[in-house]
Amino acid sequence: MSDPLLSGDDLGPGVVSPGPSSSSIFGSRLPLAVEYASLLVTEGVTRGLIGPREAPRIWERHLDNCAVMSEKIGIGASVVDVGSGAGLPGIVLAVVRPDLRITLVEPLARRTAFLSEAVSHLGLTSTVTVVRGRAEEVRLDPADVVTARAVAPLDRLVRWCLPLAAVGGRVLALKGSTAAEEATSHAAEVARLGGSAPVVLRCGVGVIEPPTTVVEVVRERAVGPSRSSRSSGSGRRRSRKG
């Protein structure tokens, strides 16, 4: 049976070349990262998940940028990636860290179709689950880490993501130049939602330039009703909402 994403010579080493830091970041997993990069710049562009102008900088701006945040995630952790889109950072984390158990949460059908096909093509089905639904509606087991990239301002993001984390778990939000401003201006709302004071972290220092900026929020206490699957069934089930 032909691959639903690629066939024949569509996937080849000449499609996209790793950046200078990629080998040290991905190590023995680099060939798998190359496959994923090739999916992004071919089917990802065709399906409107990645802009055509992103293809030449797919490594430094996207794959390397997401992969280095794995240094902030413990061994064997459970991760929920909210608003996965084309799989950034969720699939990248699964590629660079096969020890992680990752759930990709995405409300749009065309994106979840791509995610499911990509996970299957890359051989990640034993560690990655795709769930279609909105973060505020899905029912999942509480995660050690909840990740998000370019989804929403910090106050809204924490409102959606924090209930998906276990108490003591963390939200890691990839942010750009507004990180410090958001961490300060939304600190009161984050505290009201049960989170710690937001902390701005730098990932990949000395490996990529500029380093990746991540805002970390710890879930210090539960506020409001839990969305855990302990009362709503298994988190492996695909939500029909969204």
Q: How far apart are CA 142 and CA 200, in angstroms?
A: 23
Q: In the beta sheet, which residues pair with residue 131?
A: 105
In this prediction, residue 224 carries a pLDDT of 66
Could you tell me whether strands 128-132 and 143-149 are parallel, antiparallel, or unpaired per DSSP bridges? unpaired
| Position 152, amino acid | A
Average pLDDT over residues 89-94: 98
Domain ranges across the chain: 22-218
Angle between the 30-39 and 109-121 helix axes, to the nearest 10 degrees? 150
Q: What is the DSSP letter of 196?
A: P
In this prediction, residue 20 carries a pLDDT of 80
Query: Taking the CA of residue 9 as centre, how many other CA atoms within 13 Å lie in the half-sphere pointing to its CB?
Result: 1
Match 């969204």 to its residue by tokens: 242
Q: Give CATH superfamily name and number for 22-218.
A: Vaccinia Virus protein VP39 (3.40.50.150)
Answering whether pTM is above 0.75, one says yes
- How confident is residue 225, by pLDDT bands cut at 50, 70 and 90? low
Tokens of 7: 């066939």
**What's the pLDDT tens digit per position in 128-160?**
999 999 999 999 999 999 999 977 889 999 999
C-alpha dihedral sign at 177, 171, 61, 53: negative
- How confident is residue 231, by pLDDT bands cut at 50, 70 and 90? very low
Average pLDDT over residues 32-50: 94
Average pLDDT over residues 70-75: 97
Q: Is the confidence at residue 41, as pLDDT, over 60?
A: yes
Q: Is the confidence at residue 232, as pLDDT, over 60?
A: no
